[in-house]
Amino acid sequence: MFINFAGLELEAVRRIAAAMAIAFGGVGPALAIGIGVRSALEAIGRNPEAENAVRTTMIIGLGLAEAVAIYCFVVALIIAFV
Amino acid sequence: MEVHASLKAEDIFLFGPVAITNSMVMSWITIVILAAIGIAAGRSPKLVPTGVQNFFEFIVEALMGLVESTAGHYSRRVFPLIATLFIYILLANWLALAPGVGTILIHNPHVESTHSSTTHAFGAGVAEAAPLPAEAPKSGAAEPGARHEREMIPLLRAANADVNMTLGMGLISFLFIHASGMIVHGAWGYIKNDIAKPLLITPIKLVIEMFVPVSLSMRLFGNVFGGEMLLTVMGFPVIAVLFMFAELFFGFIQATIFSILTLIFTSVAAYVPPGHGHGDHGEEEGHGAPAHDAHGELAPSHAGH
């Protein structure tokens, strides 16, 4: 944005790009995980008997949300190392 | 601090035309340990289990409860694959935290022939995006580090920190999902009713289905490889121990997610709507278990994926 990318070395651009990939890519999954855990806690609070079912489903959902961050991480690795 | 990081599993030695990588060695260690425990547990099974048999029965029963809550009446048919995936991935992830993995370095057997390593069958297949162009765009500054990296390679590397391993398991899941769908609905019926039902979005559905193994394998690979890198970077006393605990937890979570997602996709593919109970072909003992409750609430997760 405010950086003159044209004047930078390829290695520097690569590192900045990798850091930006994981930085921006981590925002969405962080929000998703927060919302997911909040909803699960509310559900357990309302219906404590369903704790096991809610927990299992929550962990699967968290894994799916976290996967987005992992994709960004893989992309950052590819940018950084390839 | 120079962090040793390579997206591709390094070759330890060549067995004929096949390159044996350090991840493969690690997966064999996992297999041997699992086989040894399995033989020890099942050698003389007792009605009242003790010791290893008791431990294994605990694991199997816990998994069986999980599978039955999702798959319903055909859970006994899908259970072997799901449980195998879970136990294997879990042990592989936890063995990756054992001392010596990634820290014992050996000399690279073919330092001078670095470019020939790209033509090996196992290395070139999946990880071709990673290692091949690595030499070309490297600027001059990074060259000494890269050469150093090639001389000393770790003897052991986490089995799931290799895309070949995880993509292999992802493809097994993919085949299993659609094979079970075809077994339940019949091959043509499955394609006609489940894949090509709203004809307009069939291409999108195909892309989604193709993305399932990629997503499964990349998730596992990214987690395990990222964990390895995290432990390497955070290699200070005390702090590393905390991350070790986190990695134990993540290894368990990833094993759960891989197997449970396979199970859910299988359930979705083999889903028979309540009204259309066409006597499920060959599915064992249709004892009228209302297995559809679980599907009803799990089906949307498939669409949202």
| pLDDT, position A20 | 93
| pLDDT, position B184 | 87
| pTM for the whole structure | 0.74
pLDDT band at A58 (very low <50, low <70, confident <90, very high): confident
| pLDDT, position A33 | 93
| pLDDT, position A4 | 66
ipTM of the complex, rounded to two decimals: 0.72
* Average pLDDT, rounded, for chain B: 75
Which residues of chain B neighbour A63 with C-beta distances below 8 Å? 219, 253-254, 256-257, 261
**Taking residues B139-153, what's their average pLDDT?**
52
Q: Are B96 and B33 in contact (CB under 8 A)?
A: no
**Taking residues B213-239, what's their average pLDDT?**
85
How far is B143 from A50, CA to CA, in rounded Å? 57
pLDDT band at B213 (very low <50, low <70, confident <90, very high): very high
Q: Is residue A29 scored above 90 in pLDDT? A: yes
How far is A59 from B256, CA to CA, in rounded Å? 9
User: What are B64-117's pLDDT values in tens digits?
Assistant: 988 888 777 788 888 999 999 999 999 999 998 888 887 788 877 665 444 444
In which residue are the tokens 């992309």 written? A75
| pLDDT, position B91 | 93
pLDDT band at B204 (very low <50, low <70, confident <90, very high): confident
Which residues of chain A neighbour B264 with C-beta distances below 8 Å? 60
Q: Is residue A25 scored above 70 in pLDDT? A: yes
Polymer length in residues for chain B? 305
End-to-end CA gap in chain B: 39
Which residues of chain A neighbour B146 with C-beta distances below 8 Å? none
CB within 8 Å: B257 and A63: yes
| pLDDT, position A2 | 60
DSSP secondary structure string for all residues of B82-148: HHHHHHHHHHHHHHTTSTTTTTSEEE-TTSTTTGGGGGSHHHHHSGGGTTGGGSTT--GGGHHHHHH
Q: Scanning every residue of chain B, which has its alpha carbon at the shortest distance from the alpha carbon of A22?
A: B226
CB within 8 Å: A63 and B305: no
| pLDDT, position B116 | 42
Q: Is residue B135 scored above 70 in pLDDT? A: no
CB within 8 Å: B5 and A81: yes
**Taking residues B176-182, what's their average pLDDT?**
91
Q: Please, which residues have CB within 8 angstroms of residue B87's CB and are 6 or more apart in sequence?
A: B34, B59, B255
Q: Is residue B225 scored above 70 in pLDDT? A: yes
Residue in B134, B261, B264 closest to A81 by CB = B134
Q: Are B19 and B122 in contact (CB under 8 A)?
A: yes
